[in-house]
Amino acid sequence: MSPRPALRIAVLVSGSGSNLQAIIDAARTGTLDAQVIGVISDRPGVLALERACQAGIPAITVDYKACGSREAFGTRLLDELRRLDPQLVVLAGFMRILPAAVVDGFRGRMLNVHPSLLPRYPGLDTYRRALAAGDAWHGSSVHFVIPELDAGPVILQYRIPVRAGDSEDSLRARVQAGEHRIYPRAIQLVAEGRIEYRDGRAWRDGQPVTVPEITEEDAG
Ligand code: GRF
């Protein structure tokens, strides 16, 4: 049997790109059967674009501000994505709500990582909100993207205990370390054909995902 060709992925970014780096590294070391065929940023000059260049990956900017309107941005972004023709679009620290046309163009073929244990805390400031609520646990979720913000079905979660004395920064550092593990893993499940989006749900190995796989930080 011939080996499965690497999954062709495009990564959308807005900032530092540490998740992008984790994906690039996993593909390089062979734990992820994927090829990053392009990185698109909605902001010029961000570190994520530099990471793409360093890895020899086409680095594309679709500058939201220069586009003048949300619609124009959506059209440009969709053009770039169609040109790249990825099998999967991966949002990695992409800090903009996507126009519905873009989500619809890749329905069931777009993932996001969000720093909370969804459905808790969609949107911004998740670390502050979790601390303010006195939550015992925080974490991150990989989910399919649907037009509603951070509301698509969850595939994997990473969970950490909130420790006495935790700050937003300390929580963020531990959550992001976990994201760098679960995001390549979730993409690998897609590459293996084990995860799919159907009828508005995530399916794993043919079964609906009701409780997402959870990876926990060692409490010690
Ligand atoms: C990640 O923590 C992700 O959960 C959130 O934005 C952050 C981006 O980090 N959506 P990076 O750009 O991957 O370093």
Residue entry with tokens 């509301």: 151
Q: What confidence tier does 218 reach under pLDDT thresholds 50, 70, 90?
A: confident
Q: What confidence tier does 219 reach under pLDDT thresholds 50, 70, 90?
A: low
CA distance 154 to 202: 7
Q: What confidence tier does 1 reach under pLDDT thresholds 50, 70, 90?
A: low
* Mean local confidence (pLDDT), 112-127: 98
Nearest to 83 by CA among 62, 111, 56, 114: 62
- Between the CA of 164 and the centroid of ligand 1 the distance, in Å, is 24
CA distance 36 to 93: 16
Percent of the chain with pLDDT over 90: 95
Confidence (pLDDT) at 2? 58
* Mean local confidence (pLDDT), 70-84: 97
Instruction: Give me 66's structure tokens.
Output: 């220069």
Percent of the chain with pLDDT over 70: 98
**What is the tens place of the pLDDT at every residue in 143-172?**
999 999 999 999 999 999 999 999 999 999
Confidence (pLDDT) at 3? 75
- Between the CA of 1 and the centroid of ligand 1 the distance, in Å, is 38
- In this structure, the residue with its CA closest to atom 9 of ligand 1 is 93
Confidence (pLDDT) at 58? 98
Catalytic residue list? 114
**What is the tens place of the pLDDT at every residue in 10-35?**
999 999 999 999 999 999 999 999 99
Q: How many residues would you count in the chain?
A: 220
Question: What pTM was estimated for this model as a whole?
Answer: 0.96
User: Which residues sit opposite 142 in a β-bridge?
Assistant: 113, 156
For each of the domains in the chain, give its residue range(s) and CATH number, in order of start: 7-216 (3.40.50.170)
- In this structure, the residue with its CA closest to atom 10 of ligand 1 is 93
To 5 degrees, how large is the angle CA 207–CA 87–CA 35? 110
Instruction: Give me 157's structure tokens.
Output: 């979660």
